[in-house]
Homo-oligomer: A and B are copies of this chain.
Amino acid sequence: MNEPTRITLPDQDLPTAWYNVVPDLPQPPPPVLHPGTLEPVGPDDLAPLFPMGLIAQEVTSERWVDIPGPVLDVYRMWRPTPLFRARRLEKALGTPARIYYKYEGVSPAGSHKPNTAVAQAFYNASEGVAKLTTETGAGQWGSALAFACAQFGLDCEVWQVRASWDQKPYRRTMMQVWGATVHPSPSDVTETGRRILAEDPNSPGSLGIAISEAVEVAASDPNTKYALGSVLNHVLMHQTVIGQEALAQLAQVGETPDLLVGCTGGGSNFAGLSFPFLREKLAGRMDPVIRCVEPAACPSLTKGVYRYDFGDTAGMTPLVKMHTLGHDFVPDPIHAGGLRYHGMAPLVSHLYELGLLEAEAIGQVECFEAAVLFARTEGIIPAPEPTHALAAAIREARRCRESGEEKVILTALCGHGHFDLRAYEQYLAGELVDYDYPEEKVRQAMERIPAVPA
Contacts and interface: CB of A to CB of B under 8 A. Distances in A.
Contacts of A50: none
Contact of A6 (B78, B110, B179, B424): B78
B428 A173 contact: yes
Given A77-B379, A151-B379, A379-B108, A421 B6 contact: no
A432 interface: no
Contact of A150 (B78, B376, B425): B376
Nearest to A7: B11
A115 B176 CA distance: 32
A5 interface: yes
A6 B76 contact: yes
Contacts of A380: 108
A5 B425 contact: no
Interface string A168-200: 011001101111000000000000000000000
A440 interface: no
Interface in A158-176: 169-170, 173-174, 176
A248 interface: no
A427 to B, nearest CB: 9
A445 interface: no
A7 to B, nearest CB: 9
A106 B78 CA distance: 11
Interface in A10-37: 11
Nearest to A72: B1
A68 to B, nearest CB: 13
A1 B376 contact: no
A8 interface: yes
Contact of A428 (B11, B177, B379, B381): B177
Contacts of A375: 177-178
Contacts of A378: 77
10 contacts: A4-B76, A77-B379, A147-B379, A150-B379, A174-B421, A177-B375, A177-B376, A177-B424, A179-B376, A418-B418
